[in-house]
Amino acid sequence: MTVKIKGPWDRRAIDDYLGAAHFPLRLACVGDDGFPRVVSVWYHYDDGALYCVSHRDSLLVTLLAKMPKVGFEVAPNEPPYRGVRGRGLAAVAPEGGGEMLERLLRHYLGSTESSLAQWLLSRAEDELLITLRPQHLFSWDYTERMS
């Protein structure tokens, strides 16, 4: 499937940004009442897809099973404002969640030694892998304007 791209960055710049960023991904999905829900999750970017994990009993997993259409954003909260947002489809799978959790812990926390990491790993068998496949990507970069 071809991904539609808009904004100042080409696909390579978007891939580089998503691969290097240490910001959580803001994931928007649709609640049962039809209103959006935004959840911040750690992610890993590889080969055009975004990978996250969530506990099998989480509301996020429940909502994604009902409606796989999502929106997302990866951006800092402080200037200069720049980032990537998009929309696409999410798939939830029972395999790979524990391995991805460990990868995310190392990326965001630097190791798996903290009490938070140990607690999360103690539940690793209940973590599900969420794969986001973007259909539209939009970049923005106000670095020059804000310098």
Q: Helix, strand or coil for residue 85? A: strand
Give the separation between CA 142 and CA 87, rounded to whole angstroms. Answer: 21
- The residue assigned the tokens 């506990």 is 55
What's the confidence (pLDDT) of residue 3? 95
Give the separation between CA 31 and CA 108, rounded to whole angstroms. Answer: 28
Residue 106 lies in a domain: yes
Vertex 76, ends 9 and 55: CA angle to 5°?
A: 105
CA distances from 95 to 85, 120, 126, 131 (A): 27, 17, 10, 11
Q: What predicted TM-score, i.e. pTM, was given to this entire model? A: 0.93
What's the confidence (pLDDT) of residue 143? 84
Range of the domain at 16: 4-138
Spell out a b/e string for 11-44, using b for 16 or more CB atoms within 10 Å of the CB, else e. Answer: eeebbebbeebebbbbbebbeeeeeeeebebbbb
**Other C-beta atoms within 10 Å of 65: how many?**
12
What's the confidence (pLDDT) of residue 147? 75
Per-residue pLDDT of the chain (147 residues; tens, 9 = 90+): 789 999 999 999 999 999 999 999 999 999 999 999 999 999 999 999 999 999 999 999 999 999 999 999 999 998 889 999 999 999 999 999 999 999 999 999 999 999 999 999 999 999 999 999 999 999 999 988 887
What's the confidence (pLDDT) of residue 117? 92
Count of domains observed in the chain: 1
CA distances from 87 to 79, 84, 116, 126 (A): 24, 10, 30, 27
Residue 145 lies in a domain: no
Residue 100 lies in a domain: yes
Domain CATH for 127: 2.30.110.10
Q: Helix, strand or coil for residue 27? A: strand
Residue 143 lies in a domain: no
